[in-house]
Amino acid sequence: MARFQVVITLVLIGPIFASSIQEDERGEDHSSTGSIFKSNHAEGNDALFQGDINMESWELEDVKKHHVVDKRNVLRSRKYLWTDRIIPYVIDSSLSQAAATIKDALYELEKHTCLRFVPRTYQGNYINYKYLDGCWSRVGKIYWKEAEQEISLGKGCDKKGTIIHETMHALGFWHEQSRPDRRNYVKVLWENIQDGMEDQFDRYSDDYVNTLGLDYDLDSIMHYGKKSFSVDGVKQTLEAIGDPTRDLGGNTLTNADINKINAVYDCGTTSYGWTQWSSFTPCDVYCRKERQRYCYHYGNKKMCGGAVNDYGIESQIIDCTTAECPIPRDGHWSRWSKWGDCSVTCNDGKRERTRKCDDPAPMHGGKDCIGDDILKGICVMPRCRLDFDDTEFTNGNMGMWSAVYSGFKLQWKVTNLPTNKANTGVFSDHTDGKGYYLLMDTASAVAGDKARIESYWMSGGTPQCLKLHYSMHGSSQGSLRVVMKVPGNPEWYILYLTGDQGPGWKYATANVDVTGSYMLAIEAVAGGNWYSDVTIDDIYLDNGPCDCQDTYFQCVTWHSKGECTKNPTFMNMYCKKTCGVCNCHDSDTRCAKWASQGECQSNPAYMEVKCTLSCGACACHDDDTSCTYWANNGECTKSANYMNKYCKKSCKIC
């Protein structure tokens, strides 16, 4: 699979106001989009297009056709503009307390542009600011009829930056990162995006959106933050090329934001009449290109004469020159599809996903995409066979676990339903998304309240590994503990997790290594009420220490086919027990990355010592980076006892 990265040096236009702090010391996103998406998520409004855009169904279908918007990230069609540059508005009584902030935001836009916001009197098209469910707007004017168009400023949406952001949508502007040229400036980290939210990062084609020839603005009030739609709220989903840790997006207008408004509304034309022509679109598949202008009018959209349409727009379509068309266009991969179904219903199986060479597709002799269009992977399903000490809570069965009531104010509840509140808990079980799991519901809890389950008494003697899946998500999260009980001794923790671990199911292990009888307990402690639900599912107790386990059931089969030797990098990582490399490890967390970049081959003396596991050198390696040098100087003979023990590969012992 090929990966593409374009590195370009950027010259950025800075904000004209004091720059805002994008992230606090905890890494929280304070850009306008960060605040907006947080408010919408709290309202359960995650299905809005690109996080805060409300669209008609036919508009959404049209947008989807053009995914990969014009460079100024404004709709190229001028019919979406407020062509008299006057935007009537109403502030609903539900937002009376925010009226001053709304007016301040509109004044900010007026101060730097030729647009004027006026209280609505008789006008048929106008914006109505309302307190609804979250922060959202449509993009551009409802041009096809006289109608109110709503901008929702719900809970948490009454900040000045948020109001400017949503109003700019209504003026016709998309998010900055949806520009067709964004790949020159930011990289999308698809693997870190919440499942099902990949389309929130669509780009749009030059024929649909106009960049106005202006530079890409990483600080724009219309730009996503670098962690927007992150799978865990921590990992970045967008990365500035050349400066990966740079913050993205802002909560104040930048010079570039202002220039975009003035450019698309042609504020340089101050007298009624035709505005300047827009730039031409790229040549289409028929070798034609189009540009538009609008009639800047005082109420009569057709006052300018000419070939004006009902919306006050004139279009000009011409043939491209032979020098322009056909221009070879190289293909580029679209994002990967979702994974297909697993080939099995239990244990390990195979699955695959696909992508198309259509973002854009190669045209006029351009190069095809490099790499594969199918990616095959391994999928892990519920275990086919459960031992007595394995529990998946199927049909509500608690297995070897039982609830403890005495002394505990909260109880674990077996459920197959989503947790009943947002921003904590899970939507379904971990096993297959259809079954049961355990929930400690903290709706009526106070900090320090606990819930506990305990296992049977069991016999120790050989090392074992406890494996469990859990969720600890919420702003007032407490702790989760696995407790060891041995007769005649105080209890102790073998696993202790605390604080918000992020949304979704997580995985944890704990070593169980005792002699004689023992009991395990799993205990959750509420950090507060409401936002500290804890869930657990799929608890297994497998033989062997946790650092000597196979990840996949197929490891034994793969080993029988010689894969431990043929494919050591993968097998030594995921089939440690079967391949007999439990004591083989990397000494640097960057080893896997270096190995993927070919360092095992280009720098073997260092890599096979420091990154033995990632380089697949567990069976035969040196223990010192100087071994090759010593061997070349005859030390294998001079110092045979030492060299044969610590420099086996260089001395050809293995």
pLDDT one-digit tens code per residue, 413-439: 999 998 877 778 888 999 888 899 999
pLDDT at 576: 86
pLDDT at 21: 33
Question: Contact, 429 vs 395, CB < 8 A?
Answer: no
Give domain status of residue 435, yes or no: yes
Give domain status of residue 336, yes or no: no
CB within 8 A of 186, min separation 6: which ones?
177, 218, 238, 239, 240, 241, 248
Which tokens belong to 392?
Answer: 């998946």
Q: pLDDT higher for 109 or 359?
A: 109
∠ CA 590-592-593, rounded to 5° = 65
Give domain status of residue 67, yes or no: yes
Q: pLDDT higher for 380 or 522?
A: 522
CA 423 vs CA 418, 437, 499: distances in Å: 12, 18, 14
The stretch 284-289 carries a mean pLDDT of: 76
For the segment 492-514, what is each residue's pLDDT rounded down to a tens digit?
999 999 999 988 899 999 999 99
One-letter amino acid for residue 437 of the chain? Y
Give domain status of residue 116, yes or no: yes
pLDDT of 644 strictly over 80: yes
On the question of a cis peptide bond just before residue 360, with omega within 30 degrees of 0, the verdict is: yes
Which tokens belong to 295?
Answer: 């009639």
pLDDT at 335: 85
Reduced to 3 states, what is the DSSP secondary structure of residue 72? coil
Give domain status of residue 26, yes or no: no
Q: pLDDT higher for 305 or 219?
A: 219
Residues 152 and 275 occupy one common structural domain = no
CATH of the domain at 170: 3.40.390.10
pLDDT at 624: 83
pLDDT of 3 strictly over 60: no
Would you put residue 469 in left (φ > 0), alpha (ψ -120 to 50) or beta?
beta
The stretch 557-562 carries a mean pLDDT of: 90
Residues 65 and 212 occupy one common structural domain = yes
pLDDT band, residue 70 (cuts 50/70/90): very low
User: What average pLDDT is seen over the chain?
Assistant: 84
pLDDT band, residue 69 (cuts 50/70/90): very low
pLDDT at 23: 45
Residues 295 and 183 occupy one common structural domain = no
| Short-list 164, 200, 185, CA closest to 37 | 200
pLDDT band, residue 258 (cuts 50/70/90): very high
pLDDT band, residue 25 (cuts 50/70/90): very low
Task: Pick out the residues of the known binding site for Zn(2+).
Answer: 165, 169, 175
pLDDT at 64: 56
pLDDT at 253: 94
pLDDT of 72 strictly over 50: no
Which tokens belong to 569?
Answer: 């990098």
Residues 71 and 209 occupy one common structural domain = yes
Residues 233 and 367 occupy one common structural domain = no
Give domain status of residue 281, yes or no: yes
| Short-list 47, 215, 39, CA closest to 131 | 39
pLDDT of 619 strictly over 80: no
In angstroms, the CA 58 to CA 191 distance is 30
pLDDT of 623 strictly over 50: yes
| Short-list 320, 308, 225, 323, CA closest to 273 | 308
Q: pLDDT higher for 173 or 79?
A: 173
Q: State what percent of residues in the chain have pLDDT above 90.
A: 34
In terms of residues, how long is the chain?
A: 654
Q: pLDDT higher for 107 or 12?
A: 107
The stretch 435-451 carries a mean pLDDT of: 93
| Partners of residue 285 on adjacent β-strands | none
Reduced to 3 states, what is the DSSP secondary structure of residue 46? coil
pLDDT of 96 strictly over 90: yes
Dihedral sign, CA of 545, 546, 547, 552? positive
On the question of a cis peptide bond just before residue 119, with omega within 30 degrees of 0, the verdict is: no
Residues 526 and 500 occupy one common structural domain = yes
Q: Which residues of 534-544 are buried (b: 16+ CB within 10 A; e: fewer)?
A: bbbbbbbbbeb
The stretch 226-244 carries a mean pLDDT of: 87
Residues 240 and 160 occupy one common structural domain = yes
Residues 48 and 161 occupy one common structural domain = yes
pLDDT band, residue 212 (cuts 50/70/90): low
Residues 44 and 160 occupy one common structural domain = yes
Domain carrying residue 183: 32-262
CATH of the domain at 479: 2.60.120.200
For the segment 325-339, what is each residue's pLDDT rounded down to a tens digit?
766 778 888 888 888
Cα Rg of the chain (Å, integer)? 31
pLDDT band, residue 604 (cuts 50/70/90): confident
Residues 486 and 452 occupy one common structural domain = yes
pLDDT band, residue 12 (cuts 50/70/90): very low
Q: What is the pTM of this model?
A: 0.50
pLDDT at 654: 77
pLDDT of 371 strictly over 80: yes
Catalytic residues: 166
Question: Contact, 430 vs 538, CB < 8 A?
Answer: yes
pLDDT at 497: 96
| Partners of residue 363 on adjacent β-strands | 329
pLDDT of 467 strictly over 60: yes
CB within 8 A of 480, min separation 6: which ones?
470, 472, 495, 496, 497, 498, 522, 523, 524, 525, 534, 536
The stretch 141-164 carries a mean pLDDT of: 92
Which of 543, 570, 588 is the last residue before a domain boundary?
A: 543
HSE-CB for 583 with a 13 A CA cutoff: 3
In angstroms, the CA 190 to CA 167 distance is 29
pLDDT at 358: 84
Residues 242 and 93 occupy one common structural domain = yes
The stretch 19-32 carries a mean pLDDT of: 51
HSE-CB for 541 with a 13 A CA cutoff: 21
pLDDT of 95 strictly over 70: yes
Which of 527, 543, 559 is the last residue before a domain boundary?
A: 543
Task: Pick out the residues of the known binding site.
Answer: 165, 169, 175
pLDDT at 287: 79
Structural domain tally of the chain? 4
Give domain status of residue 567, yes or no: no
The stretch 610-628 carries a mean pLDDT of: 81
Residues 292 and 223 occupy one common structural domain = no
Reduced to 3 states, what is the DSSP secondary structure of residue 217? coil
pLDDT band, residue 166 (cuts 50/70/90): very high
pLDDT at 29: 66
pLDDT of 208 strictly over 90: no
pLDDT band, residue 443 (cuts 50/70/90): confident
Alpha carbon distance, N-terminus to C-terminus of the chain: 34
pLDDT at 530: 78
pLDDT of 152 strictly over 90: yes
In angstroms, the CA 85 to CA 435 distance is 57
Give domain status of residue 340, yes or no: no
